[in-house]
């Protein structure tokens, strides 16, 4: 928890322990199917890296048109996060994911068949709406179906799928280019692959249940209990349902539900924390590496071909980092992992900058920079990346959870856009070293923010955390 008044002693009766059984397999299947939304998020944001050059030649893109086609997805994602959050609150998390799967299909096929850059830009925007909606909805769905003991690892699977999608895009692009590199329309082959996980997401979610906590918020207690019994033992399901219902009664009395809730101090504080976490995550510069890693390594001294090969290490170590993060997620407090993550990423920002500035030019210098960049990616994706998404999914009260998540993810995407737009001209203007020194300075500010504001949520049910935070800051 944030430092301040003493933490109130929870009045909740301890829940029955988790037990093995068929409900565990059901919960695992739900997590696999829902996180295809994260896979689509990752693939659609990563595929442009390899598709851009042949796309420029095929559609005769100018520099301005190229920037428009790349960036329009980010703006669509920002808007999609807001809209997706509101729709998930109104119609349900499962319903929203089903709709997003269809939008992914339409957006992908529109891009693949686009006859010119205007149509391509429009459908990239449509894809952005789906990416943003998925980024705001899937983590909440996973948090609300998960038992609190496993919530960290289950919600974090979505981040695993995001980085796996980006890595898959890098690998698939390389394979397609190697096999069909002479084809002018090769970029269309790269993009069309995304239809497959979109179809899998839609078909899979048809058989998945709605969030039990959302059902309870709609006074559909019988359905909510039925869902909990699918993913918990009978005794645990009944006990959790009693806790959800008790908190729902409290929220009814306070009329929670939308923008008006910002007048409530503890709600306003949570939203400020959520926005800050999203901005801090993006200002590590992670997406400057994921979008422009090849160009960065070229400037560091690699040949064009060497940079493309070396850049796949960023994708690989993203996956390795998130895998390690999952293994320790439920064993280490969220605040401790966040503080350690920002300390390590700030350190590697400094090392990249110092290597670029002070190492003499030599054949080995690019490899030092590559090592520090890859280390930054590893620790970022093992700590800050998944933890921010997890905290956003688990710290907001039920009735505004999707709404607040949408607002925070909107700001996260705006921060993403500012880094995506600012990184290339900044490196061109001042070089690698000063750019990474700026990231290091932002990392210090993030450390201060986390130390003074970020709450602790590990080991608490969603309802217990809400009660504690409300009692402290209400």
CATH number of the domain located at residue range(s) 21-208 in this protein: 1.20.1250.20
Alpha-carbon distance of 315 to 308, in angstroms, equals: 11
In sequence order, what are the residues at sequence separation of 6 or more whose Cβ sits closer than 8 angstroms to the Cβ of residue 261? 267, 400
21-208 and 259-474 in the same fold: yes
pLDDT at 333 over 70: yes
Query: Tell me: the pLDDT tens digits for 411-452?
Result: 998 998 888 778 878 888 888 899 999 999 999 999 999 999
CA nearest 108: which of 119, 124, 131? 124
pLDDT value, residue 10: 39
Minimum mean pLDDT range among 11-15, 274-278, 357-361, 398-402 = 11-15
Mean pLDDT of 166-179: 84
- Of the chain, the percentage scoring pLDDT greater than 70 comes to 93
Query: Tell me: the pLDDT tens digits for 62-90?
Result: 877 877 888 788 889 989 988 988 898 88
pLDDT value, residue 378: 96
The yes/no answer on whether domain 259-474 falls in CATH 1.20.1250.20 is: yes
pLDDT value, residue 252: 56
- Of the chain, the percentage scoring pLDDT greater than 90 comes to 43
pLDDT at 1 over 80: no
pLDDT at 243 over 80: no
pLDDT, averaged across the chain: 86
pLDDT bucket at 305, cuts 50 / 70 / 90: low
CA nearest 71: which of 117, 133, 106, 134? 117
Cβ–Cβ under 8 Å, residues 51 and 106 = no
pLDDT value, residue 247: 64
pLDDT at 245 over 60: yes
pLDDT at 36 over 70: yes
pLDDT bucket at 299, cuts 50 / 70 / 90: confident
pLDDT at 397 over 60: yes
pLDDT at 402 over 60: yes
pLDDT bucket at 249, cuts 50 / 70 / 90: low
pLDDT at 384 over 70: yes
pLDDT at 5 over 50: no
pLDDT bucket at 258, cuts 50 / 70 / 90: low
pLDDT bucket at 7, cuts 50 / 70 / 90: very low
pLDDT value, residue 11: 43
pLDDT at 460 over 50: yes
More confident residue, 60 or 254: 60
pLDDT at 9 over 50: no
* Domain segments of the chain as ranges: 21-208, 259-474
Minimum mean pLDDT range among 176-185, 198-207, 231-240, 242-251 = 242-251
Query: Tell me: the pLDDT tens digits for 122-158?
Result: 999 999 999 999 988 998 899 889 888 888 778 888 8
Alpha-carbon distance of 7 to 471, in angstroms, equals: 8
Query: Tell me: the pLDDT tens digits for 282-297?
Result: 999 998 887 777 778 8
Instruction: Please indicate, yes or no, whether the overall pTM of this predicted structure exceeds 0.75.
Output: yes
Alpha-carbon distance of 445 to 353, in angstroms, equals: 18
């Amino acid at each position: 928890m944030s430092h301040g008044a003493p933490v109130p002693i929870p009045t909740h009766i301890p829940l029955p322990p988790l037990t093995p059984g068929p409900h565990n397999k059901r919960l695992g299947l739900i997590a696999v199917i829902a996180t295809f939304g994260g896979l689509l998020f990752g693939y659609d944001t990563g595929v442009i890296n390899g598709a851009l050059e042949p796309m420029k030649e095929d559609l005769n893109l100018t520099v301005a048109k190229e920037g428009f086609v790349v960036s329009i997805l980010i703006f669509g994602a920002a808007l999609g996060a807001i809209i997706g959050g509101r729709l998930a609150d109104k119609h349900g998390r499962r319903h929203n994911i089903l709709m997003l799967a269809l939008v992914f299909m339409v957006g992908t096929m529109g891009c693949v068949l686009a006859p010119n850059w205007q149509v391509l830009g429009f459908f990239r925007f449509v894809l952005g709406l789906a990416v943003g909606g998925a980024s705001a909805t899937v983590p909440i769905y996973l948090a609300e179906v998960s038992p609190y003991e496993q919530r960290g690892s289950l919600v974090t699977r979505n981040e695993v799928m995001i980085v796996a999608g980006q890595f898959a895009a890098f690998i698939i692009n390389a394979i397609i280019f190697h096999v069909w590199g002479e084809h002018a329309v090769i970029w269309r082959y790269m993009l069309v692959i995304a239809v497959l996980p979109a179809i899998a997401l839609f078909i899979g979610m048809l058989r998945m249940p709605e969030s039990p906590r959302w059902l309870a918020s709609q006074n559909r207690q019988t359905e909510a209990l039925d869902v909990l019994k699918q993913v918990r033992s009978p005794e645990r399901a009944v006990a959790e349902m009693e806790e959800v219902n008790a908190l729902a009664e409290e929220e009814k009395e306070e009329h929670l539900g939308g923008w008006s809730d910002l007048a409530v101090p503890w709600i306003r504080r949570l939203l400020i924390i959520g926005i800050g976490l999203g901005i801090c995550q993006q200002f590590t510069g992670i997406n400057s590496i994921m979008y422009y890693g090849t160009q960065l390594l070229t400037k560091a001294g690699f040949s064009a071909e060497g940079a493309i090969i070396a850049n796949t290490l960023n994708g690989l170590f993203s996956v390795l980092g998130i895998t390690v993060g999952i293994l320790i997620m439920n064993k280490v407090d969220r605040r401790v992992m966040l503080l350690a993550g920002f300390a390590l990423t700030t350190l590697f920002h400094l090392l990249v900058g110092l290597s670029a500035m002070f190492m003499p030019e030599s054949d080995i210098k690019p490899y030092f920079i590559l090592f520090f960049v890859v280390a930054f990616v590893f620790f970022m994706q093992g700590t800050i990346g998944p933890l921010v998404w997890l905290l956003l999914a688990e710290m907001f009260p039920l009735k505004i959870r999707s709404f607040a998540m949408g607002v925070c993810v909107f700001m996260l995407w705006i921060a993403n856009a500012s880094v995506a737009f600012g990184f290339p001209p900044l490196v061109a203007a001042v070089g690698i070293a000063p750019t990474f020194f700026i990231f290091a300075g932002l990392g210090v500010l993030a450390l201060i923010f986390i130390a003074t504001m970020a709450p602790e949520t590990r080991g608490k049910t969603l309802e217990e955390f809400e009660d504690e935070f409300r009692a402290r800051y209400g």
